[in-house]
Amino acid sequence: MNPAPAPRKIIHCDCDCFYAAVEVRDAPELAGRPVAVGGRPEARGVVATCNYEARAFGVRSAMSSAHALRLCPQLVLLPPDFERYRAASRQILAIYRDYTPLVEPLSLDEAYLDVSGVDRCRGSATLMAQEIRARIFAEVGITASAGIAPNKFIAKVASDWNKPDGQFVVRPEEVDAFVAALPVGKLFGVGKVTAARLNALGVHTCGELRAWSEARLVAEFGRFGAALHRLCRGIDERPVVAQRARKSLSVETTYTSDLPDLAACRAALPALAEDFARRFERARNDGTVNKAFVKVKFADFSQTTVERSADAPSLALWQTLLEEGFARRARPVRLLGVGVRYAEERDEGSQLALFGGEREE
């Protein structure tokens, strides 16, 4: 018999309050003050991120800026500066790739690293994570946290364990007990709705979820039930993928005042198309377009998306899709978005089968 393969060594690195950290780095007088990055409250802006001083007041990402300022009147609310964030991101990714070519970025500051078989730091993923975090602080001027584990799911959970500016390791022999104690809300793909549904069924921890057979979970949750059956046991076989295929590209705008009717929406569409054209030109080699879509969010926060087969972005097609989407509710509109979807050019069947549940709710 062939010996079982050695467990993988996966690091999940995540910078702490990334946008806000870059702002404080570049304006040291903000240190110790509650800081958030986001849109203006009068323009229905939302918080993109905030530091821990702001979180102490209840401020959170995706919260409206107006609400954040009510919770924390002394909040320093700054507009985003993506050029500076991207510059810091390039430095961070260069550090990650100095340790392994198997780096899967999830955002500007967050990534999985597969360091299995890497000789740096005597082959210790824990020491590599410490060194990476120290280099990010020394070279970029911000802090990062890390999780180290045999797979991606557990590494991501572990990176939150000792935030900010910390790390946590889950060794192969510790996986079973670590996952059993996790709340079901920590499982990949389980959002607030599914977590509440599981809680209502008397399931609060992964250990309790293990009492359910795979057949029962599939009967209750469809194919996502099979994913739940594996994840609650700490099983995640997804590889770290160095080059992730882009699935879509889009732009959207939340308007200061609701667009009152279809004519106003039509008038707003060309500016969105121009914005999209600039992004599309930069992403020219990201894939083959196979659909175009329009997203409409109405004043009551209901939303709809209309899409159609297309081989290129088209203002005329977006106009048609807009008319169809608007007709579904025919009420004032607070947000419009336009975009394209790319054709699948790689087999993602195993990942789709594993993670069929909702990501956010």
Q: What does 250-278 look like in DSSP terms, one character per residue? A: EEEEEEEEEE-SHHHHHHHHHHHHHHHHH
110 labelled catalytic: yes
State yes or no: 311 annotated in a binding site. Answer: no
Whether the upstream peptide bond of residue 164 has omega within 30° of 0, thus cis, is yes
Q: What does 11-25 look like in DSSP terms, one character per residue? A: EEEEETTHHHHHHHH
∠ Cα 98 147 27 (to 5°): 70
Query: Tokens 């081989």 — which residue?
Result: 311
Query: Tokens 């469809």 — which residue?
Result: 222
State yes or no: 109 annotated in a binding site. Answer: yes
Query: Tokens 């975090």 — which residue?
Result: 133
Helices assigned H by DSSP within 165-251 = 175-180, 192-200, 206-209, 214-221, 224-231
Cα–Cα distance for residue pair 323/263, rounded to 1 Å: 10
Candidate list 29, 110, 208, 358, residue with the active-site label:
110
Residues 6+ apart with CB under 8 A from 3: none
Closest by CA to 310, choosing from 330, 287, 340, is: 340
Q: Cα 109 from chain centroid?
A: 11
Residues 6+ apart with CB under 8 A from 59: 34, 36, 47, 50, 68, 71, 72, 75
Residues 6+ apart with CB under 8 A from 238: 151, 152, 153, 350, 351, 354
Residue type at 271 in one-letter notation: A
Which residues are documented as binding site?
14, 109
Instruction: Provide the annotated active-site residues.
Output: 110
Binding residues for Mg(2+): 14, 109
